C-alpha cells in the first residue's frame, strides 16, 4: 500500500471516533503502513498501533498495545503485545472498503480486551496455553503419550538432541518404525517422569515472555490443584521418582474447547531435592515446550466411539485400486492393516498406481508397507508378498482375526472364493471393489455375514445363461476386453488412475461405515463414468449402465440373488 | 411363475412399426416436396401472399410408440407450420381456408385427399384398397402469434362458423412431457414404449375403429404416462419384466375408473368414466368423446385384460402362460407360444466366461 492510499484511509477513519487522534507513524520500512490512535474500552482511552501489511486490504490489520499497557496481561494478547482478535481462516474481506475492515478489526479487538479485563474470557488461556508456553520455552520434548484424565507415570527417552515422552520403549519403537534395540541405541538416556493432570476448569495465567520465568513457588501454586487430586501414595511416588539432581515434569491443562494443553518443566536441583518436596525450593526450573505427536492428538477421529485405530483390516490386492484404498484407510485412522499381493510393481503401473515409479521391480505389498510407514506415524502395516491362497495355506492369514476383509484384486474367480471364506466360514464382513474398462465406471460391494447379499450374488443370475456374467457390470456380457482392462499391461488406459481413486473412495467410505457399525447391511455402490471411449471401440454397454445414477443408488440394497448358493437361503431382513 | 420376457420381446418385434416406417417416411417426403412445389402457384391463383411452410413429425411415429395396424392401414402424422397469424392473417377468420389451399396443392397427388376436422389426409391405395394415409395437421406458427404459441386449424368444409377455429396446440412439448421422467433411464424408457404398443395392439384387437368406439392411441399413451411404472425381473441387471409392467398399468387404469351420477330426462343414471387429460394445451380429455356405453365396454374389456394378465402371471408353465397371452382378446396370435420341448431345454452354463472386472 502506498502512503497516499493510507492517507485516504486515514481521512475515512476520521469520519467517526472508532480510532481517535489517528495519525500515520512516520519512517516505517517497506510498504508496511502503521497508524497510531486511541480506542475507548469501557470508558478508558488506550493507545493502539495498527499495522497494515503490504497486501492490506486483502488481509486483516495487526493491532498492538503500547508497551506497559494495563491491558497487556490478558488472554489473546500475544508476544509483542499483539492482540489476537480473529483467526485468519474462515473470513472474506471486501478490499473495496479498507476503512470498514479496520473499524471491524478495532471493534473485535476492543471486545477481546474488555472481556479480558472483566475476566470473561480467561478460560481461553487454557486453549492457547501452548502458544504462550512456546514463547517462554527454549527447548522441547516430543510427547507420544495419549493424555488421560488421571495423572500417571511416564518415561523420557533422550539423547543430546531429541527427547521422547512415552509409556514404554516399545511405543517409541512403533512410532519411529524401528526395533527396540535400535531405539535404546539411539536414545540411551531413560528417565522416569510424570504427567500431572489439572482439574477441569483450572485457569492459569501463562508466564510472560518479557519477564523472568516462574520460581518454584509460583509453579507449585499454579499446579497445586493437580497435586491435590493425588493420593498420598501417588504424591510420594511421583515426587520420589524424580528424586534426582534433574528431571522433567509434564502438566496437562484441560481446554474448554476439548482435549488438553500440555506444557513441560525441567528442573535442576543440586541437592537432589524434587522441586515439590519440602526442601525443593532452591531448584532451578525451566519451561519446556511439549510437541504433540501422540496418537490421540494427530490421528483422525473415526466419528464414533470405537476408534478405527483398534480395528484390524486385511487388504487383498494392492494394485491401482488397492493402493488408494490402503492410503485412504490409514488416513482415516485405520492403523492395523495387512496387505497381501503377489505382484511386483512394473513400469505399466506407474501412472495409475499410488506408488508411482519409486518402487519399480519390488513386490507391491511390501512396497505399500514401506510407503505407508514413511508417510504415516503409528501405521502398523504387515506385508505378505504372496497370493492370498498361499498366505492362507502358510497360516499367515486367518480371516476370522480381522474386523474387515477388503479385496481389490479385480479377479472374480479368486474373489468368489474369498467371499465364501469370509461370509460363510469366518463370519467377517468383506468388501470388494473393481473398475471396468475404458473409464465406464467402478463398483464397491459390501457383504455382511448372516445377511442376504454377497459377492457371489452378482454371479448368481436366475437365468442360467448368465451364471458367469457379473449382474452389476456396466459392460455388456460376453465381450472380451483383454488389453482394455486397466488391470492389464496396457500403458495408456484413459483415466486409469482417476477410475481407481473414484472406486477407492466408494470402498473406503463403505469400509469405514462397516467398521463403525454404521452400515450393518450389504450394499452395492456404483459410479458411472464416460462411455465415449468404450463405445468408440465398438463395445456394448449393459442395460444397467443406461439407467440413472439415482436409480443405481436407489437399488443399492437390492443386489442379493435368491439363486446365490452362499447366502440365498438366508432369511430376508 | 414362468418367465415370458423372451416371448414379449419377440411379440414386440412383431407389432412395432419397422420397415413400413421407411415407406411412410418416403411418402411423407414426397408430400413435403409436393407442397413446396405447388403451394406458390396455389397462393398466386388466389391472390394471396405466398407462405412457405415448415414441417415436423408428430404422433406415434415421432414418439416411437407406433404399431403395425391390424387392418393394414398405416398412418403417419405430419405437422405443417405456416407463418400466418391466427388473429390478423388472411386465414384468421377461417382456418379451413388454409386447409383448402393445402388440399388444392395436393389434389391429384393421390386419388384420395380429404379435409378432416383436425387435419388434411392423403390416402394411398393399392389394388383399390387404402393401404396407408398421411395426416397433415395445419398450424399457425408460434412465431406469427403474439403469445408465441402454435395454433391448429380445426374444421371441415361443411363446418359451421362455430366449428372453424384456431386451437392452441403443443405437440412437440407433448413428447418432451411424456419422456421427461425417463431422460436418464433408457431401460425404463424402452419399456414404457413397449407397454404403450401392447396396449395399442390390445385396443385394435378389442374395438372396432368406427367413430369413438375405441379409446384413441394418444389416450392410452396419456394413461401410460400417468400409470406406468418400470418393472424388472432383476433390479440389478435391469432385465425387463414386461408382463408385470403391463399388468401394473392395466391395474392403474382399472382403478382409475370412477362413477358419476347425472340427471337425464328426470332419471338419475350412474355411469363409469375414465379420463385422459392432455398434459399440454389444450389440456382436453381425450376420452371425453367416448359415449357412456363405449366407456362401459372399455372398462369391461380392461377388466378382462387384467384377469388374463393375472392368470398369466401366476402360471408356472411358460407354454400355458403364453397361450393365455396369445388369445384373441388379450395380445392376439402374434404372441408366440413356444413348444414344450423348447422350454424344457436346460441351458448349461459355461465354465469359462469373459469378465470386465479389474483392480
Place of cell 400466418: B84
Contact A107, A18 (CB under 8 A): yes
Q: How many CB pairs under 8 A join A and B?
A: 109
The answer for residues whose C-beta is within 8 angstroms of residue B26's C-beta and 6 or more apart is none
Contact A94, A4 (CB under 8 A): no
| Interface with A, mutate which of B236, B346, B350 (most A CBs under 10 A) | B236
Nearest of A409, A512, A491 to residue A455 by alpha carbon: A409
pLDDT value of residue A495:
58
- Which of B236, B239, B359 is opposite residue A559, by nearest beta carbon? B236
CA B226 to chain centre: 15
Residues 240-299 on A with a CB inside 8 Å of B are none
Task: Using the CB atoms, write b or e for A170-191: b if 16+ within 10 Å.
Answer: ebbbbbbbeeeeebeeebeeeb
Range list of β-strands (E), chain B: 54-58, 74-82, 112-115, 120-126, 129-140, 151-154, 165-168, 232-234, 239-240, 258-264, 267-273
- Grid coordinates representing A40? 475507548
Place of cell 402457384: B41
Please report residues of A whose CB lies closer than 8 A to that of B354.
477-481
Q: In 10 A of CB A565, how many CB atoms?
A: 13
Q: Is B234 on the interface with A (CB under 8 A)?
A: yes
User: B305 to chain A nearest CA, in Å?
Assistant: 28
Place of cell 526442601: A279
The residue-averaged pLDDT of A392-419 equals 96
Q: Which domains does chain A have, with CATH numbers?
A: 3-121 (3.10.110), 126-298 (no CATH), 308-554 (3.40.50.720)
Please report residues of A whose CB lies closer than 8 A to that of B358.
410, 434-437, 485-488
Question: Mean pLDDT highest for which of A417-431, B70-84, B147-161, B258-272?
Answer: A417-431
Q: Is B345 on the interface with A (CB under 8 A)?
A: no
Contact A72, A46 (CB under 8 A): no
- List pLDDT tens digits, range B203-259: 999 998 877 889 999 999 999 999 999 999 999 999 999 999 999 999 999 999 999
| Interface with B, mutate which of A418, A473, A494, A568 (most B CBs under 10 A) | A473
Q: Where are the alpha helices (DSSP H) in A153-205?
A: 169-176, 180-186
pLDDT value of residue A456:
96
| Interface with B, mutate which of A326, A413, A471 (most B CBs under 10 A) | A471
The answer to whether the Cβ–Cβ distance between B359 and A470 falls below 8 Å is no
The answer to whether the Cβ–Cβ distance between A409 and B359 falls below 8 Å is yes
Q: How many CA atoms lie within 13 A of B210 on its CB side?
A: 3
Please report residues of A whose CB lies closer than 8 A to that of B352.
468
Q: Is A486 on the interface with B (CB under 8 A)?
A: yes
Computed on alpha carbons and rounded to an integer, the radius of gyration of chain A in Å comes to 31
Q: Is A322 on the interface with B (CB under 8 A)?
A: yes
- Grid coordinates representing A476? 455388456
Q: Is the pLDDT of residue A481 over 90?
A: no
Contact A164, A156 (CB under 8 A): yes
- Which of A435, A436, A558 is opposite residue B236, by nearest beta carbon? A558
The answer to whether the Cβ–Cβ distance between A437 and B358 falls below 8 Å is yes
| ipTM here | 0.77
The answer to whether the Cβ–Cβ distance between B359 and A433 falls below 8 Å is yes
The answer to whether the Cβ–Cβ distance between B347 and A433 falls below 8 Å is no
Helix (H) or strand (E) holding A141: strand A139-143
- Give the chain B residue nearest A547 (alpha carbons): B185
Helix (H) or strand (E) holding B258: strand B258-264
| DSSP label at residue A403 | S
What is the average pLDDT value for chain A, to the nearest integer?
Answer: 90
Please report residues of A whose CB lies closer than 8 A to that of B357.
410-412, 434-436, 470, 473, 485
pLDDT value of residue B302:
98
Please report residues of A whose CB lies closer than 8 A to that of B346.
464
pLDDT value of residue A15:
87
The residue-averaged pLDDT of B111-117 equals 87
pLDDT value of residue A492:
46
Nearest of A334, A327, A378 to residue A354 by alpha carbon: A327
CATH assignment, B19-169: 3.30.460
- Whole-structure pTM value: 0.82
Helix (H, G, I), strand (E, B) or coil at B119: coil
Please report residues of B whose CB lies closer than 8 A to that of A435.
357-359
Place of cell 535442576: A268
**Alpha-carbon distances of A232 from A27, A227, A235, A253, B301, rounded to whole Å:** 62, 10, 5, 22, 96
The DSSP bridge partners found for residue A157 are A164, A190
CA quadruple A508, A510, A515, A517: dihedral positive or negative?
positive
What is the average pLDDT value for chain B, to the nearest integer?
Answer: 91
Contact A494, A439 (CB under 8 A): yes
- List pLDDT tens digits, range A271-281: 888 888 888 88
Contact A327, A361 (CB under 8 A): no
The answer to whether the Cβ–Cβ distance between A468 and B233 falls below 8 Å is no
Domain span(s) for CATH 1.10.1410 in chain B: 175-340
Nearest of B175, B134, B135, B132 to residue B152 by alpha carbon: B135
The answer to whether the Cβ–Cβ distance between B357 and A322 falls below 8 Å is no
The answer for residues whose C-beta is within 8 angstroms of residue B93's C-beta and 6 or more apart is none
**Would you say domain B175-340 falls under CATH 2.60.40?**
no
d(CA A135, CA A497): 46
pLDDT value of residue A242:
57
pLDDT value of residue A460:
92
d(CA A362, CA A344): 5
d(CA A154, CA A168): 8
| DSSP label at residue A422 | I
Domain span(s) for CATH 3.30.460 in chain B: 19-169
Amino acid at each position: 500500500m502506498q502512503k497516499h492510499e493510507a492517507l485516504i484511509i486515514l481521512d475515512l477513519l476520521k469520519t467517526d471516533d472508532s480510532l481517535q487522534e489517528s495519525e500515520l507513524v512516520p519512517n516505517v520500512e517497506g510498504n508496511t503502513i502503521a497508524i497510531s490512535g486511541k480506542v475507548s474500552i469501557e470508558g478508558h482511552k488506550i493507545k493502539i498501533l495498527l499495522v497494515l501489511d503490504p497486501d492490506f486490504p486483502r488481509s486483516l490489520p495487526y493491532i498492538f498495545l503500547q508497551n506497559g499497557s494495563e491491558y497487556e496481561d490478558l488472554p489473546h494478547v500475544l508476544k509483542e503485545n499483539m492482540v489476537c482478535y480473529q483467526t485468519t481462516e474462515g473470513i472474506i474481506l471486501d478490499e473495496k472498503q479498507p476503512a470498514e475492515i479496520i473499524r471491524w478489526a478495532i471493534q473485535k479487538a476492543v471486545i477481546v480486551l474488555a472481556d479480558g479485563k472483566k475476566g470473561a474470557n480467561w478460560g481461553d488461556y487454557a486453549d492457547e496455553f501452548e502458544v504462550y508456553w512456546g514463547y517462554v520455552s527454549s527447548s522441547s520434548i516430543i510427547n507420544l503419550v495419549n493424555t488421560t484424565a488421571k495423572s500417571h507415570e511416564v518415561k523420557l527417552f533422550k539423547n543430546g538432541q531429541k527427547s521422547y515422552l512415552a509409556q514404554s520403549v516399545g511405543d517409541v519403537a512403533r512410532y519411529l518404525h524401528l526395533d527396540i534395540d535400535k531405539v535404546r541405541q539411539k536414545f540411551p538416556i531413560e528417565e522416569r517422569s510424570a504427567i500431572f493432570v489439572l482439574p477441569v476448569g483450572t485457569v492459569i495465567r501463562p508466564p510472560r515472555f518479557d519477564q523472568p520465568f516462574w520460581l518454584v513457588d509460583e509453579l507449585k501454586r499454579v499446579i497445586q490443584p493437580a497435586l491435590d487430586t493425588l493420593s498420598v501414595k501417588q504424591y510420594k511416588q511421583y515426587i520420589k521418582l524424580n528424586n534426582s539432581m534433574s528431571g522433567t515434569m509434564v502438566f496437562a491443562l484441560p481446554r474448554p474447547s476439548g482435549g488438553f494443553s500440555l506444557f513441560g518443566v525441567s528442573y535442576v536441583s543440586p541437592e537432589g531435592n524434587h522441586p515439590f518436596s519440602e526442601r525443593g525450593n532452591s531448584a532451578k526450573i525451566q519451561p519446556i515446550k511439549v510437541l504433540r505427536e501422540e496418537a490421540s492428538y494427530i490421528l483422525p477421529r473415526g466419528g464414533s466411539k470405537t476408534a478405527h485405530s483398534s480395528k484390524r483390516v486385511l487388504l487383498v490386492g494392492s494394485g491401482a485400486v488397492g493402493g488408494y484404498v490402503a492410503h485412504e484407510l490409514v488416513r482415516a485412522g485405520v492403523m492395523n492393516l495387512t496387505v497381501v499381493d503377489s505382484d511386483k510393481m512394473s513400469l505399466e503401473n506407474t501412472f495409475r498406481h499410488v506408488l508411482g515409479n519409486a518402487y519399480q521391480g519390488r513386490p507391491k505389498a511390501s512396497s505399500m508397507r514401506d510407503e505407508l510407514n514413511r508417510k504415516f506415524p503409528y501405521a502398523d502395516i504387515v506385508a505378505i508378498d504372496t497370493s492370498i491362497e498361499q498366505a492362507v495355506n502358510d497360516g499367515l492369514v486367518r480371516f476370522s482375526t480381522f474386523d474387515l476383509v477388503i479385496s481389490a484384486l479385480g479377479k472374480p474367480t479368486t474373489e468368489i472364493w474369498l467371499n465364501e471364506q469370509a461370509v460363510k466360514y469366518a463370519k467377517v464382513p468383506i468388501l470388494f471393489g473393481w473398475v471396468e474398462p475404458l473409464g465406464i465406471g467402478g463398483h464397491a460391494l459390501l457383504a455382511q455375514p448372516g445377511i442376504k447379499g454377497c459377492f457371489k450374488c452378482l454371479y448368481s443370475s436366475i437365468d442360467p445363461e448368465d451364471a458367469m456374467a457379473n449382474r452389476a457390470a456396466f459392460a455388456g456380457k460376453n465381450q472380451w476386453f483383454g488389453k482394455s482392462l486397466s488391470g492389464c499391461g496396457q500403458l495408456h488406459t484413459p483415466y486409469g488412475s482417476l477410475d481407481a481413486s473414484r472406486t477407492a473412495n466408494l470402498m473406503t467410505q463403505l469400509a469405514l461405515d462397516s467398521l463403525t457399525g454404521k452400515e450393518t447391511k450389504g450394499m452395492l455402490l456404483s459410479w458411472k463414468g464416460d462411455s465415449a471411449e468404450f463405445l468408440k471401440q465398438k463395445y456394448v454397454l449393459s442395460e444397467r449402465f443406461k439407467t440413472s445414477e439415482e436409480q443405481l443408488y436407489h437399488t443399492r440394497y437390492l443386489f442379493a440373488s435368491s439363486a446365490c448358493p452362499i447366502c440365498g437361503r438366508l432369511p430376508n431382513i | 411363475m414362468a418367465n415370458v420376457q423372451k416371448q414379449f420381446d419377440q411379440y414386440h418385434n412383431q407389432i412395432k412399426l419397422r420397415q413400413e416406417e421407411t415407406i411412410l417416411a418416403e411418402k411423407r417426403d414426397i408430400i413435403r416436396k409436393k407442397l413446396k412445389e405447388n403451394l406458390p402457384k396455389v397462393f398466386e391463383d388466389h391472390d394471396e401472399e405466398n407462405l412457405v411452410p415448415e414441417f415436423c413429425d408428430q404422433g406415434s411415429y415421432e414418439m416411437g410408440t407406433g404399431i403395425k395396424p391390424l387392418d393394414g392401414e398405416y398412418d403417419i402424422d405430419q405437422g405443417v407450420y405456416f407463418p400466418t397469424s391466427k388473429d390478423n392473417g388472411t386465414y384468421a377468420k377461417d382456418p379451413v381456408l388454409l386447409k383448402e389451399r393445402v388440399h388444392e396443392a395436393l389434389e391429384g397427388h393421390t386419388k384420395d385427399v380429404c379435409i378432416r376436422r383436425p387435419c388434411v389426409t392423403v390416402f394411398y391405395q393399392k389394388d383399390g384398397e387404402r393401404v396407408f394415409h398421411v395426416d397433415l395437421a395445419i398450424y399457425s406458427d408460434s412465431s406469427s402469434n403474439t403469445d408465441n404459441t402454435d395454433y391448429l386449424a380445426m374444421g371441415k368444409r361443411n363446418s359451421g362458423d362455430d366449428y372453424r377455429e384456431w386451437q392452441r396446440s403443443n405437440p412437440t412439448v407433448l413428447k418432451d412431457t411424456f419422456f421427461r421422467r425417463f431422460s436418464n433411464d433408457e431401460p425404463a424408457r424402452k419399456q414404457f414404449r413397449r407397454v404403450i404398443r401392447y396396449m395399442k395392439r390390445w385396443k385394435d384387437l378389442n374395438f372396432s375403429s368406427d367413430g369413438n368406439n375405441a379409446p384413441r392411441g394418444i389416450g392410452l399413451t396419456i394413461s401410460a404416462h400417468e400409470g406406468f411404472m418400470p418393472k424388472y425381473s432383476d433390479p440389478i441387471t435391469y432385465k425387463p419384466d414386461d408382463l408385470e409392467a403391463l399388468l401394473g398399468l392395466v391395474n392403474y387404469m382399472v382403478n382409475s375408473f370412477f362413477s358419476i351420477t347425472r340427471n337425464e330426462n328426470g332419471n338419475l343414471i350412474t355411469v363409469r368414466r375414465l379420463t385422459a387429460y392432455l398434459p399440454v394445451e389444450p389440456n382436453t380429455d381425450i376420452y371425453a368423446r367416448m359415449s357412456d356405453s363405449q366407456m362401459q365396454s372399455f372398462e369391461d374389456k380392461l377388466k378382462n385384460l387384467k384377469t388374463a394378465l393375472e392368470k398369466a402371471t401366476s402360471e408356472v408353465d411358460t407354454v400355458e402362460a403364453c397361450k393365455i397371452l396369445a388369445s384373441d382378446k388379450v395380445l392376439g396370435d402374434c404372441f408366440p407360444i413356444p413348444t414344450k420341448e423348447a422350454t424344457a431345454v436346460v441351458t448349461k452354463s459355461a465354465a469359462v466366461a469373459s469378465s470386465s472386472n479389474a483392480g
